[in-house]
Amino acid sequence: GDSVTQMEGPVTLSEEAFLTINCTYTATGYPSLFWYVQYPGEGLQLLLKATKADDKGSNKGFEATYRKETTSFHLEKGSVQVSDSAVYFCALFSNDYKLSFGAGTTVTVRA
């Protein structure tokens, strides 16, 4: 079935560092792709999404581009802050109407 694979964490960075979290997907057709974020003690929140190839989703300084040729949707941020410390989940919405999540990547940003 359709699935996503994201890089394992944890990832520890200093403030203002560049962040990349890799995500690749396996799917039939062209699924919509998402990044969700989970801050400590909270539920998941949608961070950004892309619904077709070459779309770029962006929010709060984060970006991800839907790459059909590499089946990827990598998350990037040019300058992270301590407040970006969270767990990040890549997800896809498949043809069977399910949102399938990756295992999550824990990011810790140190001041």
Partner 1 sequence: ETGVTQTPRHLVMGMTNKKSLKCEQHLGHNAMYWYKQSAKKPLELMFVYNFKEQTENNSVPSRFSPECPNSSHLFLHLHTLQPEDSALYLCASSQGYREAANYEQYFGPGTRLTVT
Of positions 1, 68, 81, 103, contacts partner 1 by CB under 8 A: 103
Of positions 46, 61, 82, 83, contacts partner 1 by CB under 8 A: 46
68 binds partner 1 (CB under 8 A): no
56 binds partner 1 (CB under 8 A): no
Pick out residues in 78-97 that bind partner 1 (CB under 8 A).
89, 93, 97
Of positions 14, 51, 79, 81, contacts partner 1 by CB under 8 A: 51
In whole angstroms, give the CA distance from residue 4 to residue 51: 15
Which residue type occupies 52?
K
- Tell me the backbone φ, ψ of residue 50, rounded to 5 degrees: -145, 135
Q: How many residues bind partner 1 (CB under 8 A)?
A: 20
- Tell me the backbone φ, ψ of residue 54, rounded to 5 degrees: 75, -5
Pick out residues in 3-42 that bind partner 1 (CB under 8 A).
31-32, 41-42
**3-state secondary structure at position 82:** helix
Buried b (16+ CB within 10 A) or exposed e, 89-100: bbbbbbeeeeeb
Q: Where do contacts with partner 1 occur on this chain (CB under 8 A)?
A: 31-32, 41-46, 49, 51, 89, 93, 97-104
